[in-house]
Amino acid sequence: MKSRSASSTADSVTNRIESRYCGRFAPSPTGPLHLGSLVTAVASFLDARAHHGEWQLRIEDIDGPRTVDGAADAIRNSLVRHGLEWDGEIVRQSTHADRYDHAIAELRRLGMTFRCRCSRSALSGDPIYPGTCRRNPHHDGEGAIRVRARAIEIAFEDRIQGGYAQHIERDVGDFVIRRRDGLYAYQLAVSADDGDGRITHVVRGADLLDNTPRQLYLMQLLGLDAPIYAHVPVLLGADGTKLSKQTGARSIEAHPAGENVWLALTLLGQSPPATLRGAIPNELLDWATRHWRIDDVPRTTAITNFLALC
Ligand code: GLU
């Protein structure tokens, strides 16, 4: 499916060279923060603050059916309780329809999109789209919109995980940017927001590592500058599945915020001094900003049995 070699091909993505830093934490409001998402938020926050950069909070609320009432407020309150204060107004993807429509129009103008009426069942089993509607394009307004996969390799250097590459046609295939129900696909929204929103650094969970070439591909087609990426390990529960809001991961609200931040720092390999055990989040985060070393974050995509490590 994917290659680990990030050979610098002609299609490698050129990252920004400017010194400005703008990071973001981009939770979907599908439930409250859990320890895994707190680890990601802490890493993203510390990397921004250690670079004297800006840190945005972007609520990814484009998937109406999956949005849980009150979850965005719960996430916001939880971030504040853990000392993770963002800059500026909260950004909400639900207000960005114009940006996404514009991106789709641009891809269409480039001849890079087609309508797809394949049913889910017609596609089952094969992760790579077989190209049915690409060969027989529909011209009316029904169906999903897919972007055409070109035969190019997209390679990038992740600050934690190292070199990563995918061949867009072979490993990914034509992918959906607007769903048949009209919702914008995550790949489109995140690419438009990171590129158009002038995000320079993305620090997020390693479960999204294999999404990154698709996003770089879209940014390349749209002529947007790509951010620099760092994918932090995700936490796996005792049963080996990813902690997620949907699986009802242990609530961090039941524990003192300082304890949660301590745990997050330890999982990120930052070894806070024993004298700070029991400190409030701001004290821990001050120390961690001054001592942030992304090189000490474990170079793995997942951490299992994480409570035993703390
Ligand atoms: N909204 C995604 C999530 O909550 C994260 C997207 C991203 O950081 O690119 O998992």
Q: With a 6 A CB cut-off, is 171 part of the ligand 1 pocket?
A: no
pLDDT digits (tens, 9 = 90+) for 215-234: 999 999 999 999 999 999 99
Q: Could you give the 3-state DSSP secondary structure of residue 37?
A: helix
Choose one of 204, 210, 215, 235 to mutate for the ligand 1 pocket test, by most ligand atoms within 8 angstroms of C-beta: 204
Q: With a 6 A CB cut-off, is 49 part of the ligand 1 pocket?
A: no
Which ligand 1 atom sits closest to the C-alpha of 194?
Answer: 9
Q: With a 6 A CB cut-off, is 72 part of the ligand 1 pocket?
A: no
Give Cα 295 to chain centroid, integer Å.
20
Quote the CA–CA distance of 60 and 39 in Å, as a whole number.
18
Quote the CA–CA distance of 2 and 161 in Å, as a whole number.
14
Which residues lie across from 166 on neighbouring strands? Answer: 154
Q: Are 194 and 222 in contact (CB under 8 A)?
A: no
Q: With a 6 A CB cut-off, is 26 part of the ligand 1 pocket?
A: yes
Q: Are 144 and 178 in contact (CB under 8 A)?
A: yes
Choose one of 22, 24, 25, 28 to mutate for the ligand 1 pocket test, by most ligand atoms within 8 angstroms of C-beta: 28
Quote the CA–CA distance of 228 and 23 in Å, as a whole number.
10
Quote the CA–CA distance of 289 and 92 in Å, as a whole number.
27
Q: With a 6 A CB cut-off, is 208 part of the ligand 1 pocket?
A: yes
Single-letter amino acid code for the residue at 237: G
Quote the CA–CA distance of 258 and 281 in Å, as a whole number.
5
**Ligand 1 centroid from CA 206, angstroms:** 10
Question: What are the distances in angstroms from CA 268 to CA 163, 248, 258?
Answer: 20, 22, 15
- Parallel/antiparallel/unpaired status of strands 153-158 and 162-167: antiparallel
Strands of 144-147's sheet, edge to edge? Answer: 113-116, 144-147, 175-178
* Residue 7 or residue 165, greater confidence: 165
Q: Is the pLDDT of residue 95 over 80?
A: yes
pLDDT at 1: 37
Task: Over range 129-150, report the average pLDDT.
Answer: 87
CATH number of this structure's domain 10-309:
3.40.50.620
Residue 62 tokens, joined: 């484009």
Which ligand 1 atom sits closest to the C-alpha of 27?
Answer: 4
pLDDT digits (tens, 9 = 90+) for 14-53: 445 458 999 999 999 999 999 999 999 999 999 999 999 9
Closest by alpha carbon to 196, among 218, 172, 174?
A: 218
pLDDT at 249: 55
Q: With a 6 A CB cut-off, is 24 part of the ligand 1 pocket?
A: no
Strands of 22-25's sheet, edge to edge? Answer: 91-92, 54-59, 22-25, 201-205, 228-232
Q: pLDDT confidence of 238, banded at 50, 70, 90?
A: confident
